[in-house]
């Protein structure tokens, strides 16, 4: 009972345990940092006599106890280490069987599982003997090498690698106060609105009340997740001091980069090449970097462009590292309008730069020649240099292809230095198999990289997002490799920054408010959402495991609902768990897998039947697929490939794991890897990780880590927003909807859930938004209004509401550093996207998910004559342009009609007109960027857009005059009497 209330060890996750006096063991009496006796002994043995948290040396009494225990049990420990590979309850048994041996022994059973079963049986036979000879606290704990520190480390290396900087009270306190005040004012405002209907226009009033209630609900979902924003600071110098010591191999963790591309004619190979070159030249140990390029279109153009890129990398990489070039994408480096001689002291720099620029221009010529050649496909298909047909001539029916362009053998630059790996991957495609688009391609890369390199961390980038900061990986490692922080982190998300956007950012392409305000707020809760690119993952989190130290589930949750899926208990054993087994039941549906991998220390408590169930190879194959090599890689928490592995055999296994039928009857896309079921697989994948108890980190270095390109013309931007909104609707209609998924276990915090709910319900705001933008025109055309005559109290409520809205925005700008122009652009495009792309996404999502009808909105490009930002003024016809154009026309017509009516009625009509016109101008001002983009610099608009919009506005006006449902009917007898009384 005493052990059950002891805190878990911060290093291994076990109970801290008791000391010789029967009290809870305390290693550091200054900060009481929870460390178990085994981890403490291992730290002292390795020479780390400082507390990891506060840095204060351990007291003499603790060290004296350690010396006494070690001298008395040294012979026992040596015998134990020589007799078994299992070096303690904290160690993970990792099989060292090579791939070739696994294949030779398949008929006798997989040796991975055989060795593990035998080791567990030996462990049980020696259970009582170990307890007598070696107390629990004397067992040696094996800590991953990247988390070890020796006594020679400087005091700086022992300090934390990152720190959280909360907002100062003078900024966050007024912000929270205004939020609460605004909430109170909203409650009073709705009380007034509901209790004071407009009898003469009841329909208009009721419609406006519904819209306003939804807007208030949306504001709550968006505002409260920003309750505790934080900033973070990283210390890359401490990272180097801890893991990169002079004269010793680097102990930094390896990273696998994923770059995905589909169509080289839409995604230019030169842009992809720049992304790859920036990865190969990153400031990180070359033996720790591998770049995997996924060609989901099986295009020979992509293959040949990567061959050219690998050759140019031999010159570009040493140039970047010799002269500390930033950014390390040549296209963007040479296009910088800066003085490149500034701060360059090397005499040879000017000469080298000129030579490199000439080489890059020649590289571009070769790449453009490949693109020009690929414009027309030969009738017989493409052939390779040896005369054999290109396997990917049919992009929908081709075998899997892997080509290692740069590897350890012969991968050297012109100076004789080793280069990072570069691997081309095109997964198998066959008719009749689901391929799941980008999510399926990313999962294929996960398996390929696990077989070939198996780095513990994965960083994925879009093909048009290059590395802008060569230190970006080190920034992420400051979180992931920190022993205090990294154990609970599933991924580190970087903000997206973009090139090639006009200075005014007319369509809010930079998404500054989202990346600089919302994401900082989420970082103070459970972490930012995954946004699809620029994200460094913990590979174990992608495999569906929970964090090593996770709060125990209540017994009711363990027995009645599944914390993994949050909806059923059919996957949970009926046996009632004991207190010692509560950690093994933390993932009810996946307890077999987690217990076999993470909870080896608990295996002694199971009987023979349960043990055989936990370690069965079948359970792993049902989860990960039929590949013993890949399954073995999942057991390596710290990554790496067995030294005895045969490279040719690994390539064959890599081809196997990207076959189109590999994922059948497995958990890929359901519980592990990138999650299927939505075109916005990024939101879904991050949501599942947070539901398991992981947290994420938002990293914003001073120099942006990655930069990419964004669609800057109106039509492309709307289609991008349509795709995102459609994905949110798909999640809303799926079993993973945050409204009901993942409640078991309570691992997803309330404010984090609110943020995820906001990400999937925001498209539905389009319905009340369209209605609300139509109300001003209706009021002006009918002479009615949605608000009755204002009293003093009502005027005070309206004034307080507007002041609170302004105050919230001003204080938000103050703590976030966002410009007011960015906030206004975001507000404008919220209306533009809401009345167009979001509206279509709602209808398209329901048609697709409920009726199986997939609709497409075609885009037709017209030419633009402007050279600078010429794409901004491209005119593209798309159906999405019709609703906002119609709203603009009817509101303009309404303003004209309102002024005409006021002129006819005289002075008394001007007072009520002011509120209606203000309401209409609110709509027009928010749609102004759309109007400007629609007209273009040449003041040209697609004729069909104008015709459709005028037609819809005319039909609406005629129907309104005929039906007029919101205006009270006039009695005909009263009208006749009034006519008689008129003296003509």
Catalytic residue among 256, 413, 523, 682: 682
Work out the angle at residue 502's Cα, subtended by the Cα atoms of residues 463 and 725, and round it to the nearest 5 degrees. Answer: 55
Q: Is 263 helix (H, G, I), strand (E, B) or coil?
A: coil
Q: What is the DSSP string of 525-575?
A: TT-PPP-SSSEEEEHHHHTTPPPSS-PPPPHHHHHHS-TTTSS--TTS-SS
Which stretches does DSSP call E strand in 123-264? 162-166, 230-234, 255-261
156 is in an annotated binding site: no
Q: Is 682 designated active site?
A: yes
Q: What is the DSSP letter of 644?
A: T
Q: How many CB atoms are closer than 10 A to CB 23?
A: 10
d(CA 7, CA 291): 41
User: What is the token pair recorded at 265?
Assistant: 């004619």
- Dihedral-angle region of residue 936 (phi above 0 means left; psi in -120 to 50 means alpha; beta otherwise): left
DSSP helix, strand, coil percent of the chain (3-state; round to 5): 50, 10, 40
What's the rounded Cα separation, in Å, for the pair 405 and 422?
A: 5
**Dist. CA 477–CA 484, nearest whole Å:** 13
**Helix H or strand E encompassing 358:** helix 349-373
- Judge whether 296 is annotated as a binding position: yes
Closest by CA position to 662, among listed 440, 493, 865, 864: 440
- Is 121 labelled a binding residue? no
Pick from 149, 146, 46, 240: which is nearest to 481 by CA? 146
Of 630, 713, 766, 648, give the one whose Cα is nearest residue 933.
Answer: 713
Cα separations in angstroms, 380 against 298, 388, 394, 676: 16, 12, 11, 36
Q: Using an 8 Å Cβ cutoff, are 149 and 92 in contact?
A: no
Question: How does DSSP classify residue 201?
Answer: G
753: closest CA among 517, 566, 585, 514?
A: 566
In the chain, what is the straight-line distance between the N-terminal and C-terminal CA atoms, in Å?
102
Cβ contacts of residue 145 below 8 Å, gap of 6+?
251, 638
Q: Does the bond joining 915 to the residue before it have cis omega, within 30 degrees of 0?
A: no
- Would the annotation count 415 as a binding residue? no
Q: Cβ(90)–Cβ(38) under 8 Å? A: yes
Is 464 labelled as part of a ligand binding site?
A: no
Other CB atoms within 10 A of residue 41 CB? 21
Residue 983: active-site member: no
Task: Tell me which residue has tokens 């020589």.
Answer: 82
Where do runs of H (alpha helix) occur along 907-966? 910-926, 928-935, 943-963
Identify whether the C-beta of residue 365 lies closer than 8 Å to the C-beta of residue 384: no
If one counts every other C-beta atom within 10 angstroms of the C-beta of residue 18, the result is: 16
Phi, then psi, of 329 in degrees rounded to 5:
-100, 115
Strands 497-499 and 421-426, by their bridges, are unpaired
DSSP-based three-state secondary structure for 292 = strand
DSSP 8-state code for residue 867:
S
Give the C-alpha separation, 306 to 264, whole Å.
12
d(CA 859, CA 343): 47
Question: Do 535 and 493 touch, CB atoms closer than 8 A?
Answer: yes
> SS3 for 260?
strand
Q: For tokens 């002694």, name the residue.
A: 604
Catalytic residue among 43, 101, 256, 296: 296
Contacts for 306 with CB less than 8 Å, ≥ 6 apart = 273, 276, 293, 403, 405, 422, 424
Distance, in Å, from the CA atom of 685 to the CA atom of 493, rounded to the nearest integer, reads 13
Active site residues: 296, 682
Annotated binding-site residues for Mn(2+) read: 438, 462
Which residues belong to the annotated binding site? Answer: 260, 266-267, 296, 437-438, 462
Q: Report the binding-site residues for UDP-alpha-D-glucose.
A: 260, 266-267, 296, 437
């Amino acid at each position: 009972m005493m052990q059950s209330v002891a805190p878990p060890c911060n290093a291994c996750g076990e109970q801290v345990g008791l000391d010789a006096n029967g009290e809870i063991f305390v290693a550091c009496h200054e900060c009481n940092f929870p460390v178990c006796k085994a981890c403490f002994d291992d730290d002292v043995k390795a020479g780390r006599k400082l507390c990891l948290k506060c840095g204060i040396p351990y007291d003499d009494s603790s060290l004296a106890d350690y010396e006494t225990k070690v001298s008395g049990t040294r012979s026992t420990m040596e015998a134990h280490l020589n007799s078994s590979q299992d070096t303690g309850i904290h160690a993970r048994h990792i099989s060292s069987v090579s791939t070739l041996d696994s294949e030779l022994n398949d008929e006798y059973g997989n040796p991975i599982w055989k060795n593990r079963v035998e080791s567990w049986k030996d462990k049980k036979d020696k259970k009582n003997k170990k307890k007598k000879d070696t107390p629990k606290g004397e067992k040696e704990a094996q800590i991953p090498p990247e988390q070890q520190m020796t006594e020679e480390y400087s005091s700086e290396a022992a300090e934390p690698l990152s720190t959280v900087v909360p907002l100062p009270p003078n900024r966050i306190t007024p912000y929270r106060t205004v939020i609460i005040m605004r909430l109170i004012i909203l409650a009073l405002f709705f009380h007034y609105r509901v209790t004071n209907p407009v009898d003469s226009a009841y329909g208009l009033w009721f419609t406006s009340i519904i819209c306003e209630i939804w807007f208030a609900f949306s504001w709550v979902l968006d505002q409260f997740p920003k309750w505790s924003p934080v900033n973070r600071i990283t210390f890359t110098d401490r990272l180097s001091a801890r893991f990169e010591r002079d004269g010793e191999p680097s102990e930094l963790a390896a990273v696998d980069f994923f770059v995905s591309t589909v169509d080289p004619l839409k995604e230019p190979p030169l842009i992809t090449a720049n992304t790859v070159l920036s990865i190969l030249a990153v400031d990180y140990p070359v033996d720790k970097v591998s770049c995997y390029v996924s060609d989901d279109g099986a295009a020979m153009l992509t293959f040949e462009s990567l061959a050219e890129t690998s050759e140019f990398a031999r010159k570009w990489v040493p140039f970047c590292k010799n002269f500390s070039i930033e950014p390390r994408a040549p296209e963007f480096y040479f296009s910088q309008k800066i003085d490149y001689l500034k701060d360059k002291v090397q005499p040879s720099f000017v000469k080298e730069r000129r030579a490199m620029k000439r080489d890059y221009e020649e590289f571009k010529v070769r790449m453009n020649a490949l693109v020009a050649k690929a414009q027309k496909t030969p009738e017989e298909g493409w052939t390779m240099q040896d005369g054999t047909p290109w396997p990917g001539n049919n992009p929908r029916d081709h075998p899997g292809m892997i080509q290692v362009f740069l590897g350890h053998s012969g991968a050297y630059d012109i100076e004789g230095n080793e280069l990072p790996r570069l691997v081309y991957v095109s997964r198998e495609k066959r008719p009749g198999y689901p391929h799941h688009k980008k999510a399926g391609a990313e999962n294929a890369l996960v398996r390929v990289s696990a077989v070939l390199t198996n780095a513990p961390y994965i960083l994925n980038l879009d093909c048009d997002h290059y590395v802008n900061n060569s230190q970006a990986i080190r920034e992420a490692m400051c979180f992931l490799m920190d022993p205090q922080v990294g154990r609970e982190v599933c991924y580190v998300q970087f903000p997206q920054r973009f090139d090639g956007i006009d200075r005014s950012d007319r369509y809010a392409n930079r998404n500054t408010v989202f990346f600089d305000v919302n994401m900082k707020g989420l970082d103070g809760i459970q972490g930012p959402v995954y946004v699809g690119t620029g994200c460094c993952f913990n590979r174990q989190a992608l495999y569906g495991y929970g964090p090593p130290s996770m709060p125990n589930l209540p017994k009711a949750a363990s027995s009645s609902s599944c914390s993994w899926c949050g909806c059923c208990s059919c996957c949970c054993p009926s046996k009632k768990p004991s207190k010692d087994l509560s950690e093994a039941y933390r993932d009810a549906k996946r307890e077999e897998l987690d217990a076999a991998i993470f909870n080896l220390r608990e295996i002694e408590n199971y009987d023979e039947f349960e043990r055989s169930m936990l370690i069965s190879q079948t359970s792993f194959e049902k989860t990960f697929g039929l590949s013993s090599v890949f399954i073995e890689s999942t057991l390596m928490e710290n990554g790496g490939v067995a030294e005895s592995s045969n490279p040719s055999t690994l390539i064959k296994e890599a081809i196997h794991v990207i076959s189109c039928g590999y994922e059948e009857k497995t958990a890929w896309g359901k519980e592990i890897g990138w999650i299927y079921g939505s075109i916005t697989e990024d939101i879904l994948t991050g949501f599942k990780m947070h539901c398991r108890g992981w947290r994420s980190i938002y990293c914003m270095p001073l120099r942006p880590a990655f930069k990419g390109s964004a669609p800057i013309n109106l039509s492309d931007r709307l289609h991008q927003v349509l795709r995102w909104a459609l994905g949110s609707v798909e999640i809303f209609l799926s079993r993973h909807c945050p409204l009901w998924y993942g409640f078991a276990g309570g691992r997803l915090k309330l404010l984090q859930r609110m943020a995820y709910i906001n990400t999937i319900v925001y498209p539905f705001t389009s319905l009340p938004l369209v209605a609300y933008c139509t109300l001003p025109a209706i009021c002006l055309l009918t002479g009615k209004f949605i608000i009755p005559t204002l009293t003093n109290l009502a005027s005070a409520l309206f004034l307080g509401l507007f002041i609170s809205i302004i105050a919230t925005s001003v204080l938000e700008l103050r703590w976030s550093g966002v410009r007011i122009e960015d906030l206004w652009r975001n507000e404008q495009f919220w209306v533009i996207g809401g009345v167009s792309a979001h509206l279509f996404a709602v209808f398209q999502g329901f048609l697709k998910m409920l009726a199986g009808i997939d609709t497409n909105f075609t885009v037709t490009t017209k030419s633009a004559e402007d050279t600078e930002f010429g794409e901004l003024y491209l005119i593209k016809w798309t159906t999405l342009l019709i609703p906002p154009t119609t709203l603009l026309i009817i509101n303009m017509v309404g303003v004209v009609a309102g002024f005409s009516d006021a002129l006819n009625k005289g002075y008394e009509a001007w007072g009520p007109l002011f509120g209606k016109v203000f309401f209409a101008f609110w709509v027009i001002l928010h749609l102004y960027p759309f109007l400007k983009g629609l007209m273009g610099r040449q003041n040209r608009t697609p004729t069909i857009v104008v015709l459709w919009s005028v037609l819809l506005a005319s039909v609406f006006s005629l129907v309104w005059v005929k039906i007029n449902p919101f205006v009270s009917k006039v009695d005909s007898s009263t009208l006749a009497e009034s006519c008689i009384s008129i003296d003509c």
